[in-house]
Amino acid sequence: MKANLKAVLNTHNTSLGIELGSTRIKVVLIDNKADVIATGYHDWENQLVDGVWTYALEDVWSGIQSAYGHLKANVRKEYDVTLTTFGSIGVSAMMHGYLAFNIKDELLVPFRTWRNAMTQNAEVELTELLDHNIPQRWSIAHLYEAMLKKEAHLADIHHFTTLAGYVHYMLTDEKVLGIGDASGMFPIDSEKLNYDQNRIQLFNAKARSMNYTFNLEDLLPQVLNAGENAGVLRLDRIHLLDVENDLVPGIKFAPPEGDAGTGMVATNAILENTGNISAGTSVFAMIVLEKALSKVYREIDIVTTPVGAQVAMVHVNNCTTEINSWVKLFGEVATLFGETPDTDALYQKLFNEALKAEEDLTNILVYGYHSGENITDIAEGRPLLVRQPDANFSLKNLMRAILDSAFATLSIGLDILVSEGVALESIVGHGGIFKTEGVAERVVAAAVKSPVSLMETANEGGAWGMAILAQYVLHSEEYSLVEYLEEVVFKEASIRTYEPTRAEVEQFEKYVQVYKDNMKIEHTAQSFI
């Protein structure tokens, strides 16, 4: 196997996927059967600067170089090969947010990420104007909020994009975006596979009434469909990825995609009535719709698959951050006794402890809100632990309460789709939280009231999904994306499925009801400075 993989290195049979997640930048190298050859990663964190969640662009590039350097070193160590080329490259990142530039490509304001809850007025006005839910994290909401506030930078704006779009542009000089990522900037017409032109005109008319002269279509990146060629690696940009400049120019690029799109690909969930759940700093469920919803819901995003099909997206800003905080705390306790526990082992032990919890945990509530939350109308993060005095405050019960709370808000949002008659045929989970077998999938299955399947590649996540989309660029004339996933990528996939019991579903429903009934505690905490 090792000899076979070594033989394909530095050929056009490989593809590189790059994904900039909330806490980790990851790169994955695959062969033409989507088998992983090597990985690399770099941990990073967003910063709260002057009330804005952001990442410095310098950290974007140092992080990408670190992650790629890690992968490159792994390949050199494992195969005694120095990487010089790939068949294709793809870039993915957190969806939404706001990166605005002038004509000289200078950043006009610090990168405003999806995590910010700072566009309340834009959310309300644009949702009404466009008759389409426009959540606060959407790129167009950030632009419109800046217009409402008459921000000075708009006098110089030349283009704006997402994080994936920015990285792709810098490597290729192409202002383009995959349709899935674009659907988190502005509503998409799924028949024409482009921005909705009627809504573009509505926005432009509104801008004119506010004395802005730009045309929105001139500011947005061009929309591309999965499989289209999105440019090539430029000679003068190689150093941005590979500091040793060993790569050759001219390597093909796939359209840059958002983490939602790569999650759908990584879980083979792009057909109607299929879905996936991606759990990390945020958690979101993506359900591919058979028909449009009956009305606009502020809790539901309508985005698209990488080939433009409509998707109902339930996006929750907060998921694993509170879990990670507690695990870190318990690790610090262990160090007081001279122990330095392995991080993975610590997660496994604590997660498995949660399975021993008592059935009724409604007297221990955790609100893991580190940032605002649209679905429950929370403006700012206020992580809380609240319990009744007589609650059995044990380790097992605390860990289960923390895990349950990570998916409670998701359950609230998904109940809307259930009321719309959306019938899930399958839902697949992915993300590092599923690494401990048999734990997170049980919680998620109870939360979504559906069997949850996991593939052996669940830990690879969106970077692997992006590598697949990059590989698909080399085969798009032979297959549709659905065919490519079914016949090449997942033909022999190993899958495990957990089906919740009625008792587990009912217990989680009871927990969520108490969670909602006591949300006033979280609202009150908003006044805490």
pLDDT tier, 443 (very low <50, low <70, confident <90, very high otherwise):
very high
Give yes or no for a contact between 8 and 14, defined as CB atoms under 8 angstroms apart: yes
Per-residue pLDDT reduced to its tens digit, 87-145:
999 999 999 999 999 999 999 999 999 989 899 999 999 999 999 999 999 999 999 99
The H helix count followed by the E strand count for the chain is 18, 23
Please give the backbone phi and psi of residue 527, each rounded to the nearest 5 degrees, phi first.
-80, -5
pLDDT tier, 265 (very low <50, low <70, confident <90, very high otherwise):
very high
Q: Could you tell me the fold of the domain covering 2-267?
A: Nucleotidyltransferase; domain 5 (3.30.420)
Six-digit token string for 125: 């006005």
pLDDT of residue 39: 96
pLDDT tier, 163 (very low <50, low <70, confident <90, very high otherwise):
very high
Per-residue pLDDT reduced to its tens digit, 229-247:
999 999 999 999 999 999 9
pLDDT > 90? residue 66: yes
pLDDT > 90? residue 274: no
Q: Return the HEC string of 460-502.
A: CHHHHHHHHHHHHHCCCCCCCHHHHHHHHHCCCCCEEEECCCH
> Buried (b) or exposed (e) across 51-69, using 16+ Cβ within 10 A?
ebbbbbbebbbebbbbbbb
pLDDT tier, 529 (very low <50, low <70, confident <90, very high otherwise):
low
Residue with tokens 């993506």: 286
- Tally of CB atoms within 10 A around 44: 20
pLDDT of residue 284: 86
Question: Taking residues 377-381, what's their average pLDDT?
Answer: 89
pLDDT > 90? residue 10: no
Q: Where are the domains of the chain?
A: 2-267
pLDDT of residue 492: 84
pLDDT of residue 280: 85
CA distance 471 to 300: 31
Tell me the whole-structure pTM to 2 decimals.
0.84
pLDDT of residue 2: 63
pLDDT tier, 148 (very low <50, low <70, confident <90, very high otherwise):
very high
pLDDT of residue 1: 56
CA distance 362 to 383: 17
CA distance 451 to 442: 9
pLDDT of residue 460: 65
pLDDT of residue 509: 96
pLDDT of residue 273: 83
CA distance 121 to 98: 16
CA distance 511 to 404: 8
